[in-house]
Structures are given as C-alpha cells and as structure tokens.
Structure 1
C-alpha cells in the first residue's frame, strides 16, 4: 500500500471537501431555480417538448434581466446618483462645435389641454409624457458625470453597454446551443442505447413523493413516445421510393415558391404602410402588421425607417446628415417604434389567449354536439408558433435596447406574464400536440432561431451606429458624427504605446495572420473530432463483436450441456 504524506492527504481531503461543497451548492441552487416546480409539472403532464418551451422562456427572462442590469449599471446608475445628489458628482455638458442651430431643435408637443385618452395613447405608443423620460434615448443628453476623482464618459459607457449585452447574448446562446447539440448528437448516434437507458436506468430512486413519481412516470412515457415517433418517421423515410421522393421535393419546391411570393408581397405592403404611417400618422396610434410577420418583417421595418431617416425629398440633408425635419431625434423615434412593437405583441398574445383560446375551450366543452365545433376541435399547443412569438419579442428587445434603454426591463416583465398566461392556457384550454418533440432537439432548434434573431438585430444596430449620423438635438452623441466615433476618440486619449498596440491589433497586418491561425486551429479540431469519431466507431464495433462472441460461447456451452445430458440419459 502506497503511503501518502500529510500534504497529499490534506490535498485529497481538501479536494473531496470542495467537491462535496460544490455538489451541495448546486443542489441548493437547483431548489432556488425559477419556476422549477411548474416546469417539472409541465414536463410530467405534457412531455419534454412543451417543457423545453417553458425552459426556453425562463432563459429569456434571465437573459433580459442580465441585459437590464448591464445597462442600469453602466448608464442609468451614474445618472441617478448625480440627479438625486446621492454622491458628490455633477453632470458634464460639452458645448457643440460646428453644429448648425437648426440641427439642435427638438420640438416636443406636450402643451395645451390633454384628454384622458391621450395618456392611454401615449402609454401604448411611447409618445407624449413618456418621450421625455429615461425610457428613451433622447433623455440622456449629457456628455459625462464628474465624480470626485474621475470623470465618467457617458457616451462611451452607452456604446459599451450595447456591445456588452450583444456579446453576452451571443456567447450565452452559443454555449447553450453547443450543449444541446452535443446531447442531440450523442442520442442520434445510437437509438437502441437511448431505449435501454430510459427503460433500465431512467428511474430516479431518490423520488419518495407519490405525485413526483407519477410525474416521472409520465415524463418517461412521453420520452419513449417521442423516440418511437422518430423511429417511425425514419422508417417511413427509408421506405420511400424514388418517385415518392421526387414528388415530395417537387411539392415542397412549389409551396416554397408560393410562400416566397406571398412574403415578398407582404414585405412591400409593410414598406409602403410604414412610409405612410411615418409621413401622415406620426403622432397617432397605428396597428403594426409586423406582429404577424415575425422576424423577417423587423428587418423590413428597420430598413424602411433607415431609408426615411437618411433621405430628404424637398431639401438637402447635408446640413445635419439626416432628415432633421421629420426626425429631429431619430433614435428616440426608432425606440418608440420598437416600444410599440413590444407593447402590441404583448397585447395580441393576451388577447388571443383570453378572447380566442378560452371561448374555444368553452365551445368544445359545452357545445361538442355541433359538427362545426367537432371539426374545429380543441386548441393545440403549437410549439413552433409560440417559440417564434417569443423570439420575435426578444429580437425587438435587442434592437430597441440601444434606442430605449429600459426596454429589457419591460421585456422581462412581459415574458414573466407570458409564462403564467401560457401555462394557464396549456393547463386549461389546450391539448398536447399529437407529434412528439424531443427536448434536446427542441432546445437546439429554439436557440438556433434565437441566434438568427440576434444576427438580424446586430445588422441594423451596426449600420445605425457606424453609418447613420447621430442626432444633434438629443442623446449622448451630439458631439459626434456617428455613434462609433467615440471609440477612436477614446483610443486617442491612451498613451502612445497603447495606441500603437490597438492600431496594430485592428490593422489588416494582424487580422490576416490571426484569421489564418484561427482557421488552422479549427481544421485541427475538426480533424481531431473526426479521429475521435473513428475511434468511437471502432470501439462500438469491438463491443458488438464481443457480444457476438459471448453469444456464440453461450450457444456452444448450451449445446455441450445438452450433449452431456443426452449421454447421461
């Protein structure tokens, strides 16, 4: 027996204690997990597919909460500390240079007699009394905060908060996507192993509660149904003839062409409607078709707004660089559009649940003898449609958070309410989908759609920060031609050696070798993954051969025992 020194014994004891502490901490954290009991109940009653939707909704709540905290700490907190005299600090205002007085005019219509319904319209559209609050970009018309020992650069913090929440969202989504992809990849490799794991090793023997045991039974049953459904679909695909395959793909191509034509017509209609609403209904509440067209229409709307902001019909835009007559503070007006989309999306979700799903449930329950009601049937909880709805809302939040810093907080409250509304609708008005969804595949699909939404949000934000001139009448970037100019100005204040380092890192001489090295590393890991996969295949084949050998030996042993028994007789 090998003797361990006191130092080795202490290290081993410390390692075990630390692992035990981490395990206990994770166990306690799991009990503090948001909506843990509700999601477990949904998993047991409706399967892992629908449970993955609610888990995805919980992820968006946490993501928006973190985004709001980033914006609050970097932008709102210094202003609040100075505004309410909590710290010994003052606002810093730098006078604008070489800016025409016409570009600094920002009229806000809030005078005269205001009717009660005007407050409701302002609350739904973000105009009126809300336009001057910290909800929108135009409220932050300061250049910094002067504390006792240092000056806080608000324009830089405002831009960095946007970059930070976009980078955080990207990393968080990619991390969760990779985890889900690995699980789905492992499960897709060997289907028989999945059945064995669920049947022989799927039960949690720590369960002592009867209700939890029933939920676990239901969860395993739904997972087995999903596996069998996927196996049936794979078998059906494998049995297709060449004629059936050609017919199916031809039909899909024809339907996709029709869908593309309809989408193009809808996009053009939205483009014309947005132009009309911006020119003739600037201060009125108007419905938004984008709620129904989901992700793609956000790009159409933002593109339309961008073209209207940078185009002038009857006079030149050279004075301010944008259409100052229609958009004196275009960032705030874009934020109002995103705010309206967020509010109307929330209202439509509530209205559909209250005025469509619940009456439909009542009709199916109490008027089931009617043939029309029988054909209509009970509402089905459509997972893809619900996922597109919340991804649409999250994409609006990503785009609008730059123009409306408090929009992530609104999105957090919105998703919390949607969770309870959807849970109530699922439990009382909906029936589960006849098609079974696997949780790992569903999670990967949800995050993939969310990643597409993030990419769609990054494109207009990048263009607006780098190409469109910033407003000279409002916001923290009145002294900059574009939002991105704050970065070169900040780099210019660095020491010369640090400036040379930054310029070298951002130059082509560094980018090209760095890209080549990244490609080589990527190819190395791809080759390594391929080698590991071949080794795994060889090990599986070896296990299969060993099982055949054991079966052969058992067969020979059985025959030998039979021969011995026959001789004895």
Structure 2
C-alpha cells in the first residue's frame, strides 16, 4: 500500500461516516471488505438488488441491502465527479498541521458557506480537511440561530419540559391553552384599537347625577359599582360621532364634517364585532382543517415502537439540558407505547358493563334537569334594568371570574390536598393523574363566555388573557408537584383535533349565533350604548348608508344594496352555507389523503413481501448452483485422481 497524503486521509475519514468501508490497493478498483456483501450474497443477487427500487427501506432485509448497494454506487460516482479540494481558493483551505484555523481564514470560510446552498454547503464541509469538532463548531452558529428563533415562541421551553416529563397528552392541553390565548389577544387588539382607545380619547360627558361608592375589594369580584360606568361595558360607549379634530363654535356656519374628522362609534362598534367574529371563524376553520390533515397522517401503531427505539434521537441536539430533555421525552413516549400495547387485552365483563354507561348517564340527566331548572327559576329575580346590555356584560364577567376562582380551588383541593392525603394517609406512592378531558372542557367553557360577552363588554377578552396567563403557570407548577403522567394512551395530533373541533362547533358556533341574533332582532336600550334609538344594531349600517346617499346623490343605490345584502336573511344563510361547503371540502380532501396513505402503505408492504420472495428465490438458486459447482469440482478431482 502507498502512503496517503493528509488531505486524502482526512477526506476518507469524513466520508467513512456515510459510505461503506473500502480497502485501498494498487489495483484500479476498491475492494469491498463488508462480509455481508462479499461472502453471503452472489454477484447475480447483488445486480438484481441494485436495480430494484428502494422505497421500502426498513421493511425487509433485502430492501436494506438494495439501498446499501445503490448508496455505494452513488458515492462512487459522486467521488469521481466531486471537485477536489484543490479547486477551492486557498483562503478557504485552513491549515491542519497542528496550528488550528486562522481567524481571517475562518471568517472567509463562514462567509463562503453562507453564500452557498444547503447541499453545496454540506458537500464543501465534507470535502474540507477538518476534524469533526471543527466542523461542529462551524455549524454551531447556524444551529444557535435556529434555536434562538425557536425560543422566541411563547412558552417553548416550558412546553418541551412538560412534553418530556408527562407525555404528549398533557402537552396537548397546554398547547390548546396557548391557542386560546392567541385568539383572545387577537380579539383584544381589534376591540381595543377600534373601540376602547377612541372612546377613551374622546372622554364623553357622563351623567353627573350618578354617584358611585367605590369598594374595590368587592367590585373586582362583582364587576359592579365603579366598573358599571367604565370602558369595560357596553353602556359607556357613545351613540354620537366622536370628534377627533377641533370643535366648532355655536355661531359658526360650518357643518360638522368641516369641523374635524368624526368617528362613527355605532357603525364602528357594529362592524368591529362582526369582523372580529368573521376572522375568528376563518382562523378556526383553517386550524381545524390543518389539524385534521395532521391527525390523519400515518396512524398505525405497527412498527412505532421499533421506530422510537432506533430512529427517534435528534443528532442536532448540542446542549446538555436539551440532551436530558430529549432523553426524558423519548423515555415517556416509549412508556406510552408499551402501555398502549399491554392495554389491548381487557376483561370481557367490563366491556359489557361499559355499554350501560351512556344510557345510565342520559337517564340520570333527564331525571335531574327538571329539578335543576325549577331551582334556577325560583332563585332568579326578574328585573329589567334600563341598560340591559351592561347588565348582561356584568353577569358574563362574574361567570368568567367565578370560573377562574373555582379552577384555583379545584387545583388546590383536587390536586394538592388530594396528593398529600393520598401519600400521607392512604400510603400510596403514585400521584394523582392530570385530568386532561376535564381541564380542556373548563377552558372551552371559559372561552365561550369570553366570546358571548365581547358584544356587551369589549374588554372581556383582556380579562380572559389575564386568566389564561395565571392558569398556565398555576397548572404547570401543580402538574410538576402533584401529578404524574396519564395511564391512558393519548395521541397529541388527534387530541388537538378533537379540542379544536369542540371549540369550533359547540362553543364558537353557539356564541356566534347568540351574538348575531342579538344584533339582528333584539331592540337596544333607549338610554345607553351606541345603538340607542335604533330598532336593532343592524340599522347602524343602514343609517350610515342613508347619510352617504343624502350627501351624495350619486350613491343613492347604497341603502338598497345594504338592505338586500345585510338585512336579508338569505345573505346570512349563504355565508353560513359557504363556510359549511369549505369545511366539507376540507374534510373530503383529508379523507382522500387518508385513503391514499392507506393504499401507499399497503403498496409498500406488498413491495417488501415481493422483495423478500425474490431475495429468497435468488439465494436458493445461488446455493443450488454452488452445490452443483462443488459436486462437479469434487467429481472432477476424483476423475483426475483415478487417471493418475
């Protein structure tokens, strides 16, 4: 063997990470030293395997060897066509003779790498005569930047810790909580910028005869008192155009439009609430369709355990904390998969008894509901305030706040005290399990209250934001202290799909129907709010279009168009029908994708079986041919011996 120069030697060391081992010799071609190919498989078998498609990697042994041969041929051709290291400029070729890499050369190398594409960058780094530690250092800047971008997401590190310790089921609850937070931030920004801020700047003259006793401790809980005449509720907002410019004197003959820009609060209030619900509906439909597509991906438990064992590690993990978190995440997923495979067998008696759960629940509900409604009717005091919109807003505010208080009590008594009692009194080592379903339903209930109340209390989404922020950190601390991973198998994608579906149809659809009915048919209060003096809130737009037509005769067609498009119920039904068609279309597309995935999986399995059959037949023919050759050789030796 001839000695190798340092560049060729280091290049071979790097390429050996992904290519088979070759032994250099004085001959032209490399000699294969892999005993799997050189000793056990014939050349005919290898030729057939190398020409077969390799879409079933990991499905059969023959497919693996086929990919091995194809990869070997590709690397051989790439090595022949790859430019040598001498083709790169000398400034991009750092020294490896024990003195490290110069600073200016390193900077030029990094600049050159940034200007290249991903494939060219990887190819150039592989061809560089650098050690693995130096290449890792060069790539570390890019990975650090990606880690920084990932860390900008809200609660990213906390969510990784929760998913690593408690599994994807508990993680789906916190992801759903973050999704609700984003919905409320969007609603708060829309109502705050278009309604609250202009009304706060205008400072309308309030009724001076109203005297309010301020008892802040109780007002925060009830929402009454000082808050009754504040920006929090519907009754505070004016029904007159807000002047954003200078005011005109009484003796001036100028019109109001020339005295400054006017802000039509009734019109803006109506269109702001409508546009916020419309955009939220679009986001929900898009999120739900996207979640359906993710949940119907490859969804077979067969082979998942082997994939998690051999292919779940991310080799881009660098930090020690990330390594520990990744290890805990893989361990939790393996426990979940193993638990799912031991839970298949259950008691037949329990399965039969579980069939009675729904009839018993429905019958109990029918028995208890009439009495419950009678109690509520007895407790309710029928009183019609002058400003019923603010009264409804106060009630929803109290419901939302009481929901948060009861969640605090449930966390303290149901998780903390129960964990202490279970470990101290009952002498149980296991901690209580985090109830995902109940906590998610509580989130959906609170969000429904926030959507219902945004018409009567424009700042109610801000209250919901504060509630969700406290709830996230409270549940995270309680989860680590008092709970353990759920014993039931959960799939994060499917759980997220179910959560979004429940949020969309029962919660958002019900709130949207109630708000639309209120704006369309119920008469607003005559003494408060931006819609006083109107038959319904929809007339705010009609009045504005009539004013435009009166000011400009060329726009006389606007009131008729508004009456035909907005006040006609057909427009609402058409809009709802379009949304239903879009949802149905997305569901059909997802169902088609799921069927295609199933067909492709079946095709992959069939190809794997065909390859195993062909490999077995080829090996059988090769062994039979080898036996015949051995027999002929033995017979020939005997014949030659007899002749001698």
- TM-score scaled by length of structure 2: 0.65
Task: Indicate yes or no: 2:518 matched with 1:457.
Answer: no
Partners of 2:153 and 2:537 in 1: CA distance? 39
Q: Which residue of 2 aligns with 1:254?
A: 360
Q: Which residue of 1 aligns with 2:243?
A: 146
Task: Indicate yes or no: 2:464 matched with 1:397.
Answer: no
Task: Indicate yes or no: 2:602 matched with 1:496.
Answer: no
Residue number among 469, 494, 515 corresponding to 1:416 in the alignment: 469
Please report how far the alpha carbon of residue 400 of structure 1 lies from its aligned counterpart in structure 2 after TM superposition: 1.2
Please report how far the alpha carbon of residue 192 of structure 1 lies from its aligned counterpart in structure 2 after TM superposition: 3.0
Q: Which residue of 2 aligns with 1:211?
A: 321
Please report how far the alpha carbon of residue 213 of structure 1 lies from its aligned counterpart in structure 2 after TM superposition: 2.1
**Larger displacement relative to structure 2 (63-72 or 499-508):** 499-508
Distance 1:267 1:230, change over 3 A: farther
| Contact persistence 2:165–2:485 (CA under 8 A) | no
Task: Indicate yes or no: 2:396 matched with 1:358.
Answer: no
Task: Indicate yes or no: 2:482 matched with 1:429.
Answer: yes
Residue number among 153, 174, 183 corresponding to 2:285 in the alignment: 174
Residue number among 384, 389, 396 corresponding to 1:338 in the alignment: 396
The alignment partner of 1:205 has SS state of: coil
Partners of 1:409 and 1:559 in 2: CA distance? 74
Distance 1:448 1:537, change over 3 A: closer
Partners of 2:182 and 2:508 in 1: CA distance? 16
| Contact persistence 2:238–2:265 (CA under 8 A) | no
Residue number among 382, 407, 421 corresponding to 1:349 in the alignment: 407
C-alpha deviations, 1:486-513, integer Å up to 9, x for none?
A: 1322343352345555555556898999
Please report how far the alpha carbon of residue 356 of structure 1 lies from its aligned counterpart in structure 2 after TM superposition: 4.7
> Which has the bigger relative contact order, CA under 8 A and spacing at least 6?
1
Task: Indicate yes or no: 2:495 matched with 1:406.
Answer: no
| Contact persistence 1:222–1:436 (CA under 8 A) | no
Partners of 1:272 and 1:61 in 2: CA distance? 37
Task: Indicate yes or no: 2:230 matched with 1:133.
Answer: yes
The alignment partner of 2:543 has SS state of: helix
Residue number among 181, 184, 192 corresponding to 2:295 in the alignment: 184
Task: Indicate yes or no: 2:536 matched with 1:482.
Answer: yes
Please report how far the alpha carbon of residue 403 of structure 1 lies from its aligned counterpart in structure 2 after TM superposition: 1.0
| Contact persistence 2:298–2:597 (CA under 8 A) | no
| Contact persistence 1:47–1:218 (CA under 8 A) | no
**Larger displacement relative to structure 2 (429-438 or 350-359):** 350-359
Distance 1:38 1:542, change over 3 A: closer
Report the structure number with the largest CA radius of gyration: 2
Residue number among 357, 373, 376 corresponding to 1:270 in the alignment: 376
The alignment partner of 2:242 has SS state of: strand
| Contact persistence 2:176–2:496 (CA under 8 A) | yes
C-alpha deviations, 1:497-534, integer Å up to 9, x for none?
A: 45555555556898999999999988888777776666
Please report how far the alpha carbon of residue 142 of structure 1 lies from its aligned counterpart in structure 2 after TM superposition: 3.6
Please report how far the alpha carbon of residue 54 of structure 1 lies from its aligned counterpart in structure 2 after TM superposition: 0.8
Q: Which residue of 2 aligns with 1:157?
A: 268
| Contact persistence 1:144–1:153 (CA under 8 A) | yes
Residue number among 50, 56, 63 corresponding to 2:183 in the alignment: 63
**Number of residue pairs the alignment of both structures matches:** 474
| Contact persistence 1:466–1:483 (CA under 8 A) | yes
Residue number among 427, 432, 436 corresponding to 1:383 in the alignment: 436
Q: Which residue of 1 aligns with 2:603?
A: 542
**What 5-or-longer segments of structure 1 have no aligned partner?**
1-12, 84-90, 94-104, 280-307, 309-324
**What 5-or-longer segments of structure 2 have no aligned partner?**
1-113, 122-142, 246-259, 550-554, 632-644
Please report how far the alpha carbon of residue 193 of structure 1 lies from its aligned counterpart in structure 2 after TM superposition: 6.1
Partners of 2:319 and 2:409 in 1: CA distance? 38
Please report how far the alpha carbon of residue 352 of structure 1 lies from its aligned counterpart in structure 2 after TM superposition: 2.7
| Contact persistence 1:226–1:438 (CA under 8 A) | no
Matches within 5 A, 1:365-380: 365=423, 367=424, 370=425, 373-374=426-427, 378-380=431-433
Partners of 1:121 and 1:397 in 2: CA distance? 21
Distance 1:195 1:172, change over 3 A: farther
Distance 1:236 1:482, change over 3 A: farther
Matches within 5 A, 1:439-450: 439-450=492-503
Partners of 1:450 and 1:516 in 2: CA distance? 19
Distance 1:227 1:135, change over 3 A: same
C-alpha deviations, 1:195-233, integer Å up to 9, x for none?
A: 565444432211112332232233233334444555666
The alignment partner of 1:131 has SS state of: helix
| Contact persistence 1:139–1:475 (CA under 8 A) | yes
Partners of 1:348 and 1:517 in 2: CA distance? 40
- TM-score scaled by length of structure 1: 0.72
Distance 1:481 1:29, change over 3 A: farther
Partners of 1:80 and 1:183 in 2: CA distance? 44
Distance 1:527 1:499, change over 3 A: same
Distance 1:260 1:355, change over 3 A: same
